[in-house]
Structure 1
Amino acid sequence: MKKVLIITYYWPPAGGPGVQRWLKFVKYLPEYGIEPIVYIPKNPTYPLIDEELQKDVSYNTTILKNNIIEPYGWASVFSKKNTKKISSGIIPDKKKQSVLQKLMLWIRGNMFIPDARVLWVRPSVSYLTNYLQGSGIDTIITTGPPHSLHLIGMELQKRFGVKWIADFRDPWTTIGYHKELRLSESSQQRHKKMERDVLNTADTIIVTSPTTKAEFEQLTDKPVTVITNGYDVEPVAKEPLDEKFTLAHIGSFLSERNPKILWESLSELVKEDAEFKDKFELKLIGAVSQEVLTSIEQHGLTDYVNNMGYVSHSEAVKQQRKSQVLLLVEIDSLDTRCIIPGKLFEYMASERPVIGVGPQGADFADIIKTTNTGVFVEYTEKEKLKDALKSYFAQYMGEGLKVHAIGLQQYSRRNLTNQLANLLKQS
């Protein structure tokens, strides 16, 4: 059986979307003749914890652990709340940032390049150098963010001549929050150089969207393969749908993902339609930025909000299946056209209609359309959004609100792992 070393920062008990991709790949790779060996930090500072995800880790999986120095642990001494928010990607609006927040972002962006886990690179190379000798491993995979993990792969490739695959769950220098880090010109150039070095040194690049593939192909001649995120068959008991007309957003609701056209549309519908006003509920599941909550309040929607906070993955899946309509929002920026949120695939598998809001040319718009799982609107298409809400509400009132998805099997975790296994066998 072919052995593959997978270097990842996020692993159970970490919660959130970052852990799902490689947790599921590792779960299914043995079915395709691949033995995954996983290297993770021994003492990480995860912003979200979900102990239930441990059940997806086979007892037969070899897990290697090594200590990590976490700057976020130091920063929490000064402000635990701000540290947790920034480490989970919730960055306050620039106009509303405190002096401490500005300082923390500047330090994060300019003192720790490419990211706050860069101090794990050197000890990891040392640890894995000892492990790889005589291990029979000829292929290494690094997955980012954090993109500092790719530096581990680059050095191990140099030392051992192993095949190295760099997996990008998100882009590097064009990711949405990169501009928020208060980078100096020299820091920006260092990021870009590291990105080019990784892209031109790795034997193969894996990305999660066609737009990222096109972007990277402008920077490297190395092969770039798209393997999207996906859905798994979750063992969650089916429950009745919510009695209310619930519009549910699951996951981090960042400041930049503040769809004011949605709040305007919902506010108008509450005023125009007495039945809508009586039946409507907005479910927020996960971390929500203060800017989003303020916008909701300004549009008179606070009384309709059920803010559930962070829940376990299994509870999130249950809430997806119970909700009447699912909301997917991405930042309105050219840089985010490539982002295909991992929860989209679980949304589609939940058999509930999806309303997607995002930038023009978003990759996930095509997926929603081709799978017949919902409606996508751009930030300029308020009337289209309002019409979609009206249509779904009318179907809800007629007890006929459901979707008839097509072609979902291509996004199953097993099918995607098969694609990965084929790629590994070629390496």
Structure 2
Amino acid sequence: MLERSFRATRGSATLSSRPPVASQTRRLRCANVSSVGLPRRGCCGSRARRMRASLAASQVPSGSGGPDGVRRLVVAVGGLRWSGLTKYLARLGWSCWVVTAASPAGTEVANGVTVESCPRRRTLNDVYRWLRLRPGLQRVGRGPNEPFGEPLEQAALGWVARMRLEAAMLLSVPDHGRGWILRAAARARRLIAAVQPDAVVSSGPPHSTHLAAWLATRGRRTRWLVDLRDPWAGPIAATWRSSPAYQSLLSRWLSMRLERLVIPSANGVICTTRDFAAALRASYPGVSVEWVPNAADRELLPARSPDPFPGLGIVYAGTLYGTYDLGPVLRALRRFLDRHPPAAAQGTKLRIAGHIEPHHERALRLEVTARGLERFVESAGVLSREAALNLVARSRLAIVLAHRSEWQVPAKLYELVAMEIPTLVVAPGESPAVREAVRLGATVAAPDDVAAIERLMEALWLGRMSAPRDPNVEVLVDYRDRAARVSRVLAGMDGTAQPE
């Protein structure tokens, strides 16, 4: 069952939309640029993952600005973060235009946002990956019972392997969005000329979005903000140091040079955690840095299902890569099932939804087999966003992994808390993920604290705990409330105050 489920068909994330808002006392004009089906950052030749990046222009009433006395803003943004923010900015009276590679051909309007299609070009790397994945040309992988290879940070690269790695990186630098950088820049430049914005915001990853914004703003006196949802050239979390992008000398050299080109050229930087903001201020003391945490769009999230999975339904919805490890959860699950046989008889199961890197897949198979958990672990592969959320809604415990993530908080934490699903964050020490989990009312366990994870499973099984009902949590996790702060930041006002 486990092996068969690992071969599940891959899907893609989807987002729903609502009708636009008619009242517009202020206007936000945006263009959004996104790339679809791009391999995950740092994994050359790996399975594809959808990425989004966008470019937006807006205007707000002011005593300065264009001829009509209105300030205008162009934002290069991405992912669920800015899908939620622009939606609620529209409800505050902003109007948005989005140019994206992910949308169908033509133009559509939703949530006060106009979306236009801007397809990405096919690149040499696309051809290379297509040739590698052709039937009969794929390399034969190791069997499920064979020892799995070491990650790159532990393996000694010979000169042949090093040359192959650098050649692979040469095909994909600066990242897998390279096929739409020039198209996005051209579209954004035309939009800026038409809108005459007062500011531009670019958001990544993919960090090639910042290059598109840099090109689009050359020769124009426009305020430009860079939104870094994840670090670019640094600081690099330990969980990424085994990735091909970090191991490649070419990739690291180019990322550093491009970051040093982009950030000093911008008028400011936005990031997602206080720790990341402090590191950026130390690296670029002359650049203004603000931090705006992620959140969730509660309107697009399902309620907890009235039809939960039998037994104790546990879910991990996310990618397994880098230092992320479900081993502690599996060990705790084995101990829990041994102490509570009725839970095993009633269908307790850990369900995994998301892409699993080959190294992690082999390690997971070995761990599951060694602990006799074949009947209690199931992988659904990569699901659509709707299917993944429905899987979470039927579960009684959700797992968030944040091993060695010194600068970031997994965005899924906000969605799980907003759905009122009891959530366990597996992370060490005083990391940003641990502090945010405590602030939001989630449970925290260190990666080596198997007993604490088992106690949480037991408490849920025996009905001793449920999701927190603190009404303040709704304000802390909803993009509706985050949008007001972002509106002040975009307008050039002080938006750094953040309740703890």
Partner of 2:487: helix, strand, or coil? Answer: helix
**Is residue 2:362 matched to residue 1:291?**
yes
For 1:239 and 1:79, the matched residues in 2 are separated by 45
Change (3 A) 1:306 1:179: closer
The aligned counterpart of 2:320 is 253
Aligned twin of 1:412: 478
Q: 1:401 to 1:188 in 2, by over 3 A?
A: closer
Cα separation, partners in 2 of 1:104 and 1:159, compared to 1, 3 Å: farther
After superposition, the Cα gap between the structure-2 partners of 1:147 and 1:235, relative to the gap in structure 1 and judged at 3 Å, is closer
1:22-421 aligned within 5 A: 22-41=82-101, 57-58=110-111, 61-63=114-116, 65-80=118-133, 93-94=151-152, 105-173=165-233, 174-175=236-237, 176-177=239-240, 179-181=242-244, 183-185=247-249, 187-220=251-284, 221-232=286-297, 233-234=299-300, 236=302, 238-254=305-321, 256-279=323-346, 280-289=348-357, 290-294=361-365, 295-330=367-402, 332-333=403-404, 336-372=405-441, 374-395=442-463, 401-408=466-473, 409-421=475-487
- The C-alpha deviation readout for 1:105-124, integer Å capped at 9, x for no partner, is 54443454331323433343
Distance 1:407 1:60, change over 3 A: closer
1:222–1:378: structure 2 CA closer, same or farther, 3 Å change rule?
same
Q: CA RMSD in A?
A: 3.5
- 1:68 CA displacement: 2.7
Q: Which runs of 4+ in 1 moved over 6 A?
A: 11-14, 95-104
Post-superposition CA distance 1:323-347 (Å, at most 9, x none): 11111112x32xx122211111110
1:326 touches 1:354 (CA, 8 Å); kept in 2?
yes
| Larger-gyration structure (1/2) | 2
Is the alpha carbon distance of 1:59 and 1:375 closer, same or farther for their aligned partners in structure 2, counting shifts above 3 Å?
A: closer
The 2-side partners of 1:92 and 1:3 are apart by: 49
Of 162-171 and 375-384, more deviation after overlay is shown by: 375-384
Which structure has the highest helix share of the two?
1
Structure 1 residue 302 displacement after superposition: 1.7
Q: How far is the alpha carbon of 1:235 from its aligned partner?
A: 6.0
SS in structure 1 at match of 2:491: helix
**TM-score after normalising by structure 2:** 0.71
Identity of matched residues, %: 16
The alignment partner of 2:121 has SS state of coil
Matched AA of 1:209: T
TM-score (norm 1): 0.82
Check the 8 A contact 1:196/1:219 in 2, yes or no.
no
1:47 equivalent in structure 2? none
CA deviations 1:276-314 (Å, max 9, x no partner) are 332421111222341353232332212112322222222
Residues 325, 353 of structure 1: 8 Å contact kept: yes
C-alpha change, 1:101 and 1:259, in structure 2 (3 Å) is: farther
Which 10-residue stretch deviates more, 311-320 or 217-226?
Answer: 311-320
Question: Matched residues in 2 for 1:413 and 1:368: separation?
Answer: 17
Count of paired positions: 404
C-alpha separation in 2, matches of 1:219 and 1:337: 16
The answer to whether residue 34 in structure 2 is matched with residue 9 in structure 1 is: yes
Q: Which runs of no fewer than 5 residues in structure 1 stay unpaired?
A: 44-50, 84-90
Per the alignment, in what secondary structure is the counterpart of residue 452 of structure 2?
helix
Structure 2, unaligned stretches of length 5 or more? 1-25, 39-48, 53-77, 140-148, 494-500
Cα drift, residue 245 of structure 1: 0.4
- Structure-2 separation of matches of 1:6 and 1:97: 45
